[in-house]
Each structure stands twice: as C-alpha cells, then as structure tokens.
Amino acid sequence: MTRRTLLSFATAVAAMPQLVAAASVYDYDLETIDYQKLHLSDLKGKVLMIVNVASRCGYTPQYAGLQQLYLRYKDQGFVIIGIPSDDFGQGEPGSNPEIKQFCRRKYDVTFPMMSKSLINVNPRLPIYDYLTDLDQNPKTGGAIKWNFTKFLISRDGKVVNRFEPELEPNDPSLVSAVEKALH
C-alpha cells in the first residue's frame, strides 16, 4: 500500500460515524407517537421508566397503574416512557393514532408514548440493544420476555433496575425503587 492509499483510508475511516457503545440512555433518540423526535438527553437529571406496552395483552390493565405512578412522582422528576410493540403475541396490532386514542380513552394516559416499534425482533429499536446488553447492564440485561417489562433509569442515565411484566406498577418493591432513585 502506498502512503497516499493509507492516508485516503485513514481519512475515510475518520469520517465514518463512531461505533462506540452508548454510555447511557441519553445517547438515544426516540420517535413519539405523534412522529416527533424525542432526544432522551433532554431528560437528563430525571428518573425514567421505559416500558414496552401493548393494548391487547393480559398485562394491558397495567396502563392504569403506570399512569397512577407517573402522576404520583412526575413533579419530583419521574417520567414513564411507553413504547408500544407488537413483538409478543400480536398484543399491539394498532397504528400510532389508534394506540394513542386507546391509551387516552381507556386509561387516560398522559405520560409520554412513543411510536410503535420492534423491541425484541431485528431491526429493533436501538435503545433496547443498550437496555438488554449483558455486558453494559449485567444485572438488568437479557432478552425481553413479554409486554410490560419495565426498566428503571437513574438520573445519570444508567439502568438501575428491571421489573418483569408480572410485577404490577403499584408493587411495593417497584415503588420503593422509584422513590430511592428519586432521592
């Protein structure tokens, strides 16, 4: 290889986007249910709970508990982010407008809802690569088993807890973890 070829190669590599592992959830952007961009970096300093949701699932009534949890702690810097997904048992067949209408009408959901996304099937939503990565998050990583898996994110953007679908949003262990993250 000539020096010129090496320099051209080095220039091309330097111009490529960096493939660096994310340091926190703040490194991701999501699309809202209304097709607007949400930069998670805009939520720095808040405690987040990211939940994959579905409107036709045995766990769908958890929307009510999530809404209550959100209302109880939102003024302290707590944000729930619902991400609809049809990856499990076709539990979310609706379009974004249908999902939004269902959530507002049936459960009066006011926490941020994102666009319907793949979270367990490729090409999945990139934030789920981070949330489930066992190297970066050994205590909370691993495959998503079903709808309503809940990831609790600290104010510094790190995953601090994971709650499986069967754990209700009003469960004392979940509420305690949220309160601990807030203080």
- Is there a domain that residue 85 lies in? yes
Inside any domain, residue 12: no
Q: How many domains does the chain have?
A: 1
Span 111-153, pLDDT tens digits: 999 999 999 988 999 999 999 999 999 999 999 999 999 999 9
In a domain? residue 159 = yes
Q: What is the CATH number of the domain that holds 124?
A: 3.40.30.10
Q: Is residue 76 part of a domain?
A: yes
Mean pLDDT of the chain: 90
Please list the active-site residues: 57
**Is position 15 within any domain?**
no
Structural domain containing residue 153 = 23-182
Nearest-5° Cα angle at 96, 31 to 55: 115
Specify burial of residue 54 (Cβ count, 10 A radius: 0-12, 13-18, 19+): buried
Neighbours of 48 (CB within 10 A): 23
Determine, yes or no, domain membership for 4: no
**Does 5 map to a domain?**
no
pLDDT of residue 22: 73
pLDDT in tens, 23-59: 899 999 999 999 999 999 999 999 999 999 999 999 9
What does the buried/exposed string (b/e) look like for 147-178 if buried means 16 or more CB atoms within 10 Å of the residue's CB? bbbbbbbbeebebbbbbebebbbeeeebeebb
In a domain, 13, yes or no: no
Question: Measuring CA to CA, which residue among 164, 176, 154, 174 is closest to residue 78?
Answer: 154
151 forms beta bridges with 50, 162
